Chains A and B, each alone.
Chain A
Amino acid sequence: MARVRTGVRAMGAVLAAVLGASLMGCSSTGGKRAEERAAEEAAEGRSAVNTPRWTFAMVTHSGDGDTFWDIVQKGAEQAALKDNINFLYSHNDEAQQQAELVQTAIDKGVDGLIVSLAKPDAMKAVVAKATEAGIPVITVNSGSAESKSFGALTHIGQDEAIAGEAVGDELDKRGRKKALCVLHEQGNVGHEQRCGGAKESFDGTMQNLYVDGTNMPDVQASIEAKLDADKSIDAVVTLGAPFAAAAVKAKETAGSKAEIDTFDLNASVATGLQNKTLGFAVDQQPYLQGYEAVDLLWLYRYNRNVLGGGLPVLTGPQIITADDADELAEYTKRGTR
């Protein structure tokens, strides 16, 4: 009993300390309050349309805590707010689980469905079930080749092979000879296409390196080991923004002279581009993928509009270098680029 009481007392002391500290040391610049004020000054968050409140579900192959998909979600939520949509988001990186999540959305009888097809074969049957049930489907991010045959209205994303080729060309422009392509999601066809496309258009040699994207220290250690083992590597291409930072650290520890380039963008990549620790980034504008997906579903329900004329709507690739980084830095901090 005495032990319980000391436990409670200790908890109380900790709480009091936290509250006290937060009241004492106020910052007059930046921080959460500035962010809240800015949000208040912006739109009042009312929807701009008078259509009924439809429910749209988005099911992606994202893992937990993924920066890229967080931005996609932000875009989708912004569009949902404007279009008076009840927006549901769910994700799982196992193909079977993702298919089951789509099934739950069908069970719920949603008015529209947004799916990413990183593992298209696993999603085929369940997407067909959705279209049979009369739910309009839009595919995002990956699966441009399958989207149409699965019966989706439109695909929004970038063609991974084209994006890869853009990287290969940019590496040539920068006079690189030996590059490393770091794949952080085993089994993702889109990633294979990126590295494949880059290999295709790159005049030098390119190797693939598989790392476990859910384990950052492991990513860094793997790249480090590779750079240690082969000093002639002069470019490392990572396939996601968070992995660029790991590659930069690995390069420093290994004492390598390789240039680090990356797919996708986030605040630290923008900073990296500004201070020249990174060469270039290839953006596919995730915000746009989420925003457009919701908006196009709304347009379809409201007005039977379909964008793209049967072809994928491309949101990338957009090569971003130090010159563009300045104006994007603000948006990356906000978490929308």
Chain B
Amino acid sequence: MTATGQPVAPEKTDERLLRTSPLRRLLGRPELGSVVGAVAVFLFFAVVADNFLQMSSFGTVLYAASTIGIMAAPVALLMIGGEFDLSAGVMVTSSALISSMFSYQMTANVWVGVFVSLLVTLCFGAFNGFMLTRTKLPSFIITLGTFLMLTGLNLGFTKLISGTVSTKAIGDMEGFDSARKVFASHLTIGDIELKVTILWWVVIVAVATWILLRTRFGNWIFAVGGEADAARAVGVPVIRTKVGLYLGVAFAAWVSGQHLLFSYDVVQSGEGVGNELTYIIAAVIGGCLITGGYGSAIGSAVGAIIFGMTSKGIVYAEWNPDWFKFFLGAMLLLATLLNAWVRKRAEATK
């Protein structure tokens, strides 16, 4: 695209200070493509799946999206910072296991277990961050190690302490009911059932967006993801930023883990494997680049919505489940392609 026929700005003004029109600014947002993708997926299932437009189905889809979205937002921030976390999926299970087993074994108020779990889960995140910045190994390798270690710890400790592969029920213990209200309650409005995870999700995405766009730390995230060495040279605390990002993922893993525990009362030690990829996919659909330095938290939420709509829409549409993963993969590719195409168009009009 050449800018012929467009008025050239006077040479005295710096091009970085040019006022752009609000529409231009909207078109330049990383999440725009994913919004278009989400609308497309929504319309598609509205046509092919009978029950997709029911109120009760909305609740189900939103819940599915929220369980992914809570994790996808901090994972998106981490990816903008140029790193991966493959341990995010099992960390959720670890966090739930720690709460449950600590409360049960110590016969403590459930809230004690919940806070111990928060501390330990944050330690996992800190471990990821410090190992990464100390060893200079790629985060892919570091967190792959953490992922395998946590998977083993989940099973090993659960068998050692509870004697079986799942935890003991803690539903009759003090504090369980109030903790359930916080992490796993739901609100029924007419036909639609809204789980509390949706609220957590909205809050986490809002905070992540504020950090990214309105704080110094947010600028650091973009800087370390774009070019870590240059960032360090201009005085960005690279180590602190990356450790902070891993702590963010750990915090979200704790929230998701507590949700698992308090909705089901018993935690299976072998779950969570593979979910880390789901979070990464949601972030990527939402406009994060795999290479870092670009993306948004709102985009990760839209990515989670696309994922939720697709995985549930396929069931509402009564398609043969044997093909489920194929459709899911195809849908995700299409959504991401559309996303990339919209972004290219948006950048061309700049």
With an 8 A cutoff between CB atoms, is A187 at the interface?
Answer: yes
Closest partner residue, chain A, to B50 (CB atom)? A108
Closest partner residue, chain A, to B271 (CB atom)? A94
Q: Chain B 270-304, CB within 8 Å of chain A: the 1/0 string? A: 11100100000000000000000000000000000
With an 8 A cutoff between CB atoms, is A319 at the interface?
Answer: no
Contact size range, B: 20 to 34
Please give, as numbers and ranges, the residues of chain A lying within 8 Å of B312 by CB-CB distance.
Answer: 100, 104
With an 8 A cutoff between CB atoms, is B51 at the interface?
Answer: yes
Please give, as numbers and ranges, the residues of chain A lying within 8 Å of B169 by CB-CB distance.
Answer: 121
B165 with A187: CB separation less than 8 A: yes
Please give, as numbers and ranges, the residues of chain B lying within 8 Å of A96 by CB-CB distance.
Answer: 67, 260, 263-264, 271
A185 to B260, alpha carbons, bound, how many Å?
A: 20
With an 8 A cutoff between CB atoms, is A221 at the interface?
Answer: no
A189 with B316: CB separation less than 8 A: no
Interface of A is mostly: helix
Closest partner residue, chain B, to A120 (CB atom)? B266
Q: Chain A 48-67, CB within 8 Å of chain B: the 1/0 string? A: 00000000000000001000
With an 8 A cutoff between CB atoms, is B325 at the interface?
Answer: yes
With an 8 A cutoff between CB atoms, is B133 at the interface?
Answer: no
Q: Which of A90, A104, A186 contacts B60 (CB 8 A)?
A: A104
With an 8 A cutoff between CB atoms, is A95 at the interface?
Answer: yes
Contact size range, A: 20 to 34
A189 with B57: CB separation less than 8 A: no
With an 8 A cutoff between CB atoms, is A181 at the interface?
Answer: no
With an 8 A cutoff between CB atoms, is A15 at the interface?
Answer: no
With an 8 A cutoff between CB atoms, is B11 at the interface?
Answer: no
With an 8 A cutoff between CB atoms, is A188 at the interface?
Answer: yes
Q: Given A89-B321, A96-B260, A192-B164, do A121 and B56 touch, yes or no (CB 8 Å)?
A: no
B266 with A108: CB separation less than 8 A: no
With an 8 A cutoff between CB atoms, is A299 at the interface?
Answer: no
With an 8 A cutoff between CB atoms, is A331 at the interface?
Answer: no
B325 with A64: CB separation less than 8 A: yes
- B264 CB, nearest partner CB in chain A, Å: 4
Please give, as numbers and ranges, the residues of chain A lying within 8 Å of B150 by CB-CB distance.
Answer: none
Q: Which of B165, B260, B263, B321 contacts A192 (CB 8 A)?
A: B165
A64 to B321, alpha carbons, bound, how many Å?
A: 9
Q: Given A100-B64, A104-B316, A108-B51, do A121 and B165 touch, yes or no (CB 8 Å)?
A: no
B263 with A187: CB separation less than 8 A: no
B165 with A189: CB separation less than 8 A: yes
A119 to B266, alpha carbons, bound, how many Å?
A: 9
Closest partner residue, chain B, to A94 (CB atom)? B271
- B55 CB, nearest partner CB in chain A, Å: 9
Please give, as numbers and ranges, the residues of chain A lying within 8 Å of B265 by CB-CB distance.
Answer: 121, 124
A91 to B169, alpha carbons, bound, how many Å?
A: 25
Across the A-B interface, give the 7 residue pairs with the lowest CB-CB distance, nearest first. A186-B270, A187-B270, A187-B268, A121-B266, A122-B264, A104-B315, A107-B57
A186-B270, A210-B155 known; 17 new pairs, CB 8 Å cut-off, are A64-B325, A89-B321, A95-B268, A95-B271, A96-B67, A100-B63, A103-B60, A104-B316, A107-B51, A107-B56, A107-B316, A108-B51, A109-B51, A119-B266, A121-B265, A187-B271, A192-B164
| Chain A contact residues, CB within 8 Å of chain B | 64, 88-91, 94-96, 99-101, 103-104, 106-109, 119, 121-122, 124-125, 185-189, 192, 210
